[in-house]
Structure 1
């Protein structure tokens, strides 16, 4: 990995990409762009010498009170503020490290956390079909879920540096990251009082730009089989994975979503008498809709009987935000605010996933699940995928099977759309149009 010199335009680009925050740091610096020339020089010196500036290693920790007794330390959440210059320098190094890991194909393809253009949906689409495919082939499936407590804060610096060197981070780039991790300090600021500086001996700095990437590299070899460690693994009927309860039918997750939606519906009912009806759709979009949408292409592609409870709660809320009676039909209510029914939301998100598959922009290991059909005797291009034959119903409702079925039935005019945004808008209009049929 080579730390090439940076220019002022690159620094300004990084600064413009940072989120604007009212908080200040140890240096109390708010305006970066006015001093871009000297800091570019400082950053280049840092990369040339492999030295991270000592003053940028200081973190201000603000204890944020949550609830309960103010005398109990456990009732405070520590918020770490790093120097703004530090974050810019980290981002510049992170960009180079990211490029290096991608170019050299270092990260495990099954690692979805903290990686650009990858999401929890991708991870779940990978896991759930693997389980159902094993069952479809009359095989056993065992998934091991490990919860690492304080994972970021207990990371061993020496072990991390050893792994970085193993992956090819050597020379000045290696010296820089060692300097970055060394001699870090923090102090607590509470009600205007600043307490003494204390050393940070392990972990990656909270709030830092490099934190997620360094941790990803640190755990990159975790999936390698080792006989050195032995654990007693507890067997459970269901477990939460990335916010979704995984079991043999996903009914536990549906019940969990139902419970959350019921609570939100009660809140909307209570406030619907106090606010104008024109404001209630905002409550729906901010409080109700996120629970419906999260990974619904994973758990919502099931029998109507399984999700009927979700559909009924959504209809109840739609009546509330319109001030309609309990037994009023909801199609015209959905149409008025252009709100999609739950089954339409699932259908839309499934098609968007398949759009990515068709345009080959999914992560590599997921893209291998979708094989395009190539006619033997026709030169005409087809948009269809090869559909897998399945034995059990649970496999039939996974995206690699049901998604392929839906995409293969799609109209050619929609398939020809190249923009995901345009495709999404067109399909939403089609779904909204069904309310008037």
Structure 2
């Protein structure tokens, strides 16, 4: 009931808890006896339009930490209790690379920007910013005697913040350099905030330096907002300047862990666009009990006979089951909490706050001492809790590399991914349009010419084997496909995939019916052709406002992936049995990898250099190759390898009428159709892409060039006799044909990003003349990077060794910071995952390297061993490596080569490595005939000693023959690896080692 009065101010009166119309009910305990009197209430006019909500000004805190090393937990609790959006810390005393200490100081959900002092100890400034706010880091200028770090909130029209620290010993001239920088900032950013510890006395009676600084700032449009002392000696050393904004200061706070006061302020400026109060509809994880889910699925039997009815029934009944046990509820976003923060720590935190209040009241030395003693106890308890939690997490993730690296990043990374769910800068529709238009623009100038392609590609013989139907899937196959792969869940799935995997008995029969009907009819369900895409920033250092800096990460329905596994198994088996794929394609194939491809490539190049010749290595670069696959051309190439009948029909159905939506901020964009490409994230996509790219390698080899491929990474190489001044005409014709094939296949070639390396004499790269590629003149480079390995003109591997040792030592320094929180087995896991594994990647390419290079790798291994065991530099390294049972680097290289040799000999590796090896066959029957030895190339085949030591085809047989006869006779890979390592271990540490 609404009652209007003459005042024009309105109020809406409810009907009470149980209704009741206009009656006034007496309420017990009411002062006047009635709950309300309608005649005294004023009507509130309803506003049907949306009322804009006033923003809450962002808050910040500025403090001088005087070393954060032993007070990270205290600082983190302080920032959390203040509820700030930005924390500014001076005098961190953190050196370059000590990211773990900075990460400890940051509350959950905060990123850290830090600038350390470049010379000497002390100093350092850090900005801690909420990750759910849009921001980007600014490059720190070089100002003599000044340390500074900056960021921009939102777009460039938003607020720029610079944190400054000027040491007390800095000369007065440093302020002049600072003012020059501020003048540039003021021109670039109309809204500017400059704050920090300037170490000048801006007291009630300011010093001349302070007067000059404040007046100079005023001429640049910056006002000073701090008043009163900011140091326990009574001086004002910490200042806040602002232009284009108003800063509302709170009373300064005395803190027992620093001789400076902490300053808190609110910035009268709209915060970066972010959400935070809207409820999120989600299912409580604690209610998802597998036993209850099985009970809800007891009558799972999707009705209908058609594939569409079966899939719809599957989704409907799974959704009903999950709604029964865990219905969606509106959940308010909560502040991120550290998972290791236990109840005991909460109690200690309360006790620490109590001691702080005692100190604030007493202001004596005894209470301050009590606080600081208990603060150290609290810090130690926090480290112990973190050690227990992260040790358990690392132990559980030791066999899951992705999860392990995620844990390590959470401990070491200063900047997280921007939370796009809480960011209004870009809408999901903007991302969806950008991702779709990007591919369409690339295809615009690439008309398909199927007739030209057919002329370039060799026709298929009609008598070859074909795959025209699928075999029926058994219940055991359904269980195997169900448990294979990662249980990722798509937002379009009716329930979490891990729950489905936990109920194999209940889902086996309906799932088998869906798979067999799909394979038998040659139809992929249309309900499963839609992907949900989430934008992912390629690097945290990139501008989050630029859409081109995002990578689309696709997620497909779980049921569709299970069906794909059934197809992939039969299709892959057919391709292997018929050798339909190019033998030099190493991408996504069992027994193949980047290392096997590079071993074969370098072996060819080394052997050519050994013959006195030279070589050209060309690395082609393609744009969005997987997204550009033309379906009509793929259909032609599938038929060319023998895919016919129902199988070809099913693959056509799988690729046609696909679409994607972008998920962002709890919303889904409209559907955008995909007219080309193989689905990102699909199990079949790599296999289909390899079939699509198959003719390219055949085309290249028809011109006499070599070709290795790893998915869309294509390496062409030409071996030449002597050292010609220009590339032969064969290369020109080959590149023209390759460019024509790619253009006809509607694949976008990037000639400007294609790299060329001329191998031979040192001057070849400067004077060798190369042809053009798609109208762009090719220029040889001094070095190129292929599949993560750096090659130079002489294949010295020096640049590669330097790069991996630098990266390995960086991760070892981070592992040392993590050591206090990890047990020894967990520390070993982290060290191997981040540092020593880099020594093993493609280390078969390091065969025969000079001692000065292998010693660089050995130093990395030695440092890792000392870190893990706690050994000192005075301890000899051999007993340490022996204790850990680690092979030295030289023997690790030999071990990798021998394992590759074993795989190649017994069909576990690629054929292109097997073709480089041959069994030793003496001309007459000898006792050594059956010793499983390999033929070692003679001096006529390999002239130089360096080539004999470094080429795989020469070094592998030599090392294989040096193994014991018992080891060479083994046929099981696991047994061979064990025996081979034992033998090499004895060679490295003496015959008594085992």
Name the TM tier (shorter chain).
over 0.9
Instruction: Calculate the TM-score normalised by the size of structure 2.
Output: 0.42
Instruction: Indicate the residue corresponding to 1:341 in structure 2.
Output: 888
The answer as to 2:935 corresponding to 1:386 is yes
| Matching residue within 541, 560, 564 for 1:86 | 560
1:322 shift after superposition: 2.2
Residues 490, 532 of structure 2: 8 Å contact kept? no
Instruction: Indicate the residue corresponding to 2:947 in structure 1.
Output: 395
Pick which of 149-158 and 65-74 moved more. Answer: 65-74
Q: Which has the higher contact order (CA 8 A, sep 6+)?
A: 1
Instruction: Calculate the TM-score normalised by the size of structure 1.
Output: 0.92
Residues 351, 403 of structure 1: 8 Å contact kept? yes
Instruction: Indicate the residue corresponding to 1:39 in structure 2.
Output: 511
1:373 shift after superposition: 0.8
Q: For residues 134-167 of structure 1, what are the alpha-carbon distances to aligned partners after superposition, in whole Å with 9 as ceiling and x for unaligned?
A: 1122223222211222111121112111211222
Instruction: Indicate the residue corresponding to 1:60 in structure 2.
Output: 532
Secondary structure of 2:531 counterpart: strand
Instruction: Indicate the residue corresponding to 2:145 in structure 1.
Output: none
| Matching residue within 789, 800, 809 for 1:244 | 789
Instruction: Indicate the residue corresponding to 2:811 in structure 1.
Output: 264
| Matching residue within 315, 326, 334 for 2:862 | 315
Residues 315, 330 of structure 1: 8 Å contact kept? yes
1:272 shift after superposition: 4.2
Q: Distance in 2 between matches of 1:13 and 1:274?
A: 39
The answer as to 2:827 corresponding to 1:280 is yes
Residues 187, 194 of structure 1: 8 Å contact kept? yes
| Matching residue within 395, 401, 404 for 2:957 | 404
Residues 358, 383 of structure 1: 8 Å contact kept? no
Q: Distance in 1 between matches of 2:835 and 2:511?
A: 46
Secondary structure of 1:219 counterpart: helix
Residues 129, 395 of structure 1: 8 Å contact kept? no
1:54 shift after superposition: 0.6
Instruction: Indicate the residue corresponding to 1:10 in structure 2.
Output: 477
Q: For residues 82-121 of structure 1, what are the alpha-carbon distances to aligned partners after superposition, in whole Å with 9 as ceiling and x for unaligned?
A: 1111111111122222122223221111111111121222
Residues 64, 76 of structure 1: 8 Å contact kept? yes
Q: Structure 2 matches for 1:26-425, cutoff 5 A?
A: 26-29=492-495, 30=497, 31=500, 33=504, 34-65=506-537, 67=540, 70-223=544-697, 224-225=699-700, 227-228=736-737, 229=740, 230-231=773-774, 232-247=777-792, 248=794, 249-272=796-819, 279-378=826-925, 380=927, 381-388=930-937, 389=939, 390-396=942-948, 397-425=950-978
The number of residues matched between the two structures is: 436
Secondary structure of 1:144 counterpart: strand
1:69 shift after superposition: 5.2
Residues 25, 84 of structure 1: 8 Å contact kept? no
Residues 469, 645 of structure 2: 8 Å contact kept? no
Pick which of 136-145 and 116-125 moved more. Answer: 136-145
Per residue, is there more helix in 1 or in 2? 1
1:368 shift after superposition: 1.3
1:394 shift after superposition: 4.4
Secondary structure of 2:534 counterpart: strand
Q: For residues 294-328 of structure 1, what are the alpha-carbon distances to aligned partners after superposition, in whole Å with 9 as ceiling and x for unaligned?
A: 01011244222222122123212322222222232
Q: Any unmatched runs of 5+ in structure 1? A: none
Instruction: Indicate the residue corresponding to 1:435 in structure 2.
Output: 989
Q: Distance in 2 between matches of 1:8 and 1:372?
A: 44
Q: Distance in 2 between matches of 1:252 and 1:106?
A: 37
Q: Distance in 2 between matches of 1:253 and 1:300?
A: 13
How large is the Cα RMSD of the aligned pairs?
Answer: 2.3
Q: Any unmatched runs of 5+ in structure 2? A: 1-466, 701-733, 741-772
